[in-house]
């Protein structure tokens, strides 16, 4: 019988031992990053300025685990306002070097600083006129010496007990790349809305790019009545339009009140006679409204603060132009 998740062909280690090992790994990597922070110098500042002033793109390259880290650094730069992509160094020597121009900045990662694939393409990159930032764990390595700027990501030990698998060293290189990206982001005055533009398909993009006009209902889809009609007619309007409320408008199409399903239930509980009541006598005056160009996320905050499930939308003159409820926001995936 094959072993299950609760069984093993090996002797099981006590949970306390497993947790101790995990904490040791995290502790080692955290200490190495803290040590890295204390070693930052003017080379790092120069690297940030070089990326900030880059007229082309940032090209990140590395082999093996360094390549995986490089891919993430390139993705972080690209999503935070710096055009960037990853180039595999082995593929570069077979034609992909054509992607690099003299206006680009190349970030080359290698823990040893002696990766043949990177060193083979480095002279060509420099001849093209591109600037090179190296991130290595060996300040005396060939890659560190040949680069225009070198960032030292050296660690005193790996979290791997064999000292072989890149663990603390790859974490340090990743953290250094994140520091570069965030510093450039800050100096560019990159905003959350800028971030959302490069993530239109994600939840954050929808929250920061979707505006009230994108989710509101308009025209005959919006339930409206005048203040002098019978309550029973207002109830019919609520039922037909299916938004859970009706807006009450004055002669200039400005909302002067609102009446909801909840208001109706409370009115019936109080013994109200719907057949002898006009809507203007039971409506709630001064309804909450928002304008169409505002972000939908602002509407969510307003609805949460006021504990309401729907909002009216008015133009700059105060006239009603639309409405939406919590279901419309859910459909738009704003919440």
**253 alpha-carbon distance from chain centroid:** 40
d(CA 198, CA 192): 10
Looking at the structure, do residues 143 and 240 belong to the same domain, yes or no?
A: no
Q: Is residue 53 part of a domain?
A: yes
Look up the CATH number of the domain holding residue 249. 3.10.580.10
Q: Is the pLDDT of residue 3 over 80?
A: no
Q: Is residue 203 part of a domain?
A: no
Q: Is residue 8 part of a domain?
A: no
- 310 closest CA partner among 243, 231, 251: 243
Looking at the structure, do residues 288 and 184 belong to the same domain, yes or no?
A: no
Confidence of residue 212 (pLDDT cuts 50, 70, 90): very high
Domain around 141: 16-190
> In angstroms, what is the C-alpha Rg of the chain?
31
In this prediction, residue 218 carries a pLDDT of 96
DSSP state of 216: -
Tokens of 296: 């939908």
Looking at the structure, do residues 150 and 265 belong to the same domain, yes or no?
A: no
Q: How far is CA 10 from CA 3, 5, 6, 7, 129, in A?
A: 10, 12, 11, 9, 56
Tokens of 219: 């025209």
Q: Is residue 125 part of a domain?
A: yes
Q: How much of the chain, in percent, has pLDDT values that exceed 90?
A: 75
**Residues paired with 134 in a beta bridge:** 108, 150
Tokens of 80: 């935070």
Looking at the structure, do residues 56 and 170 belong to the same domain, yes or no?
A: yes
In this prediction, residue 106 carries a pLDDT of 98
Looking at the structure, do residues 110 and 245 belong to the same domain, yes or no?
A: no
Looking at the structure, do residues 176 and 43 belong to the same domain, yes or no?
A: yes
Dihedral, 247, 249, 253, 256 alpha carbons, nearest 10:
-90
Could you give the angle at which helices 168-187 and 64-79 cross, rounded to 10 degrees?
20
- Encode pLDDT of 237-282 as tens digits: 999 999 999 999 999 999 999 999 999 999 989 888 888 899 999 9
| Mean pLDDT over each residue of the chain, to the nearest integer | 90
Tokens of 85: 């992509």
User: Which of 83-92, 161-170, 187-196, 225-234 is predicted with the least confidence, judged by mean pLDDT?
Assistant: 187-196
Q: Is the pLDDT of residue 12 over 90?
A: no
Tokens of 146: 């040949």
- 313 closest CA partner among 287, 291, 286, 284: 291
Q: Is the pLDDT of residue 2 over 60?
A: no
Burial class (CB within 10 angstroms; exposed 0-12, middle 13-18, buried 19+) of 15: exposed
Looking at the structure, do residues 312 and 184 belong to the same domain, yes or no?
A: no
Residue 187: partners with Cβ closer than 8 Å, 6 or more residues away: 48, 52
In this prediction, residue 305 carries a pLDDT of 93
DSSP state of 218: -
d(CA 15, CA 142): 45
Q: Is residue 167 part of a domain?
A: yes
Look up the CATH number of the domain holding residue 134. 3.40.50.10490
In this prediction, residue 81 carries a pLDDT of 84
- Encode pLDDT of 43-61 as tens digits: 999 999 999 999 999 999 9
Confidence of residue 203 (pLDDT cuts 50, 70, 90): low
Which of 190, 223, 256 lies at the terminal end of a domain, its last residue? 190
In this prediction, residue 196 carries a pLDDT of 56
Tokens of 50: 């070089």
Q: Is residue 216 part of a domain?
A: yes
Looking at the structure, do residues 34 and 183 belong to the same domain, yes or no?
A: yes
Which of 137, 156, 190 lies at the terminal end of a domain, its last residue? 190
- Encode pLDDT of 315-325 as tens digits: 999 999 999 99
Q: Is residue 204 part of a domain?
A: no
> How many residues are given for the chain?
335
**Residues paired with 151 in a beta bridge:** 135
Looking at the structure, do residues 151 and 232 belong to the same domain, yes or no?
A: no
Looking at the structure, do residues 223 and 312 belong to the same domain, yes or no?
A: yes
Looking at the structure, do residues 225 and 184 belong to the same domain, yes or no?
A: no
Confidence of residue 199 (pLDDT cuts 50, 70, 90): low
- Evaluate if pTM is beyond 0.85: no
Q: Is residue 206 part of a domain?
A: no
Looking at the structure, do residues 261 and 315 belong to the same domain, yes or no?
A: yes
Tokens of 181: 């990206």
Answer for the pair 102, 131: CB distance below 8 angstroms, yes or no. Answer: no
Could you give the angle at which helices 261-269 and 231-241 cross, rounded to 10 degrees?
140
Q: Is the pLDDT of residue 1 over 60?
A: no
In this prediction, residue 31 carries a pLDDT of 95
- Encode pLDDT of 99-158 as tens digits: 999 999 999 999 999 999 999 999 999 999 999 999 999 999 999 999 999 999 999 999
- How many independent structural domains does the chain possess? 2
Residue 84: partners with Cβ closer than 8 Å, 6 or more residues away: 57, 58, 59, 60, 73, 74, 75, 77, 78
């Amino acid at each position: 019988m094959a072993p299950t998740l609760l069984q093993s062909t090996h002797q099981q280690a006590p949970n306390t031992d497993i947790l101790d090992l995990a904490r040791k790994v995290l502790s080692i990597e955290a200490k190495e990053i803290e040590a890295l922070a204390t070693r930052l110098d003017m080379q790092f500042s120069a690297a940030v300025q070089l990326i900030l002033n880059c007229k082309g793109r940032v090209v990140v390259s590395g082999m093996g685990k360094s390549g995986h880290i490089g891919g993430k650094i390139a993705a972080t730069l690209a999503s935070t306002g710096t055009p960037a992509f990853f180039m595999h160094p082995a593929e570069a020597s077979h034609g992909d070097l054509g992607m690099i121009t003299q206006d680009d900045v190349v970030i080359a990662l290698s823990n040893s600083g002696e990766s043949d694939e990177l060193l083979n393409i480095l002279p060509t990159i420099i001849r093209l006129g591109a600037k090179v930032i190296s991130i290595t764990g060996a300040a005396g390595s060939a890659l560190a010496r040949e680069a225009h700027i070198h960032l030292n990501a050296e660690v005193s030990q790996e979290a791997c007990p064999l000292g072989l698998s890149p663990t603390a060293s790859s974490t340090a290189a990743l953290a250094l790349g994140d520091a570069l990206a965030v510093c450039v982001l800050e100096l560019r005055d990159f905003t959350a809305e800028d971030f959302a533009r490069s993530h239109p398909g994600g939840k954050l993009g929808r929250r920061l790019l979707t505006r009230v006009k994108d989710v509101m209902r308009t025209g005959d889809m919006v339930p409206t009545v005048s203040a002098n009609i019978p309550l029973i007619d207002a109830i019919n309007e609520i039922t037909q339009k299916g938004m859970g409320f009706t807006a009450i408008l004055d002669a200039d199409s400005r909302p002067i009140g609102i009446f909801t399903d909840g208001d109706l239930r409370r009115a019936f509980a109080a013994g109200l006679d719907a057949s002898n009541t006009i809507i203007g006598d039971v409506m709630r005056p001064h309804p909450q409204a928002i304008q169409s160009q505002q972000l939908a996320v602002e509407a969510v905050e307003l609805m949460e603060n006021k504990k309401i499930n729907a909002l009216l939308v008015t133009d700059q003159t105060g006239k009603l132009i639309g409405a939406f409820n919590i279901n419309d926001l859910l459909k738009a995936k704003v919440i």
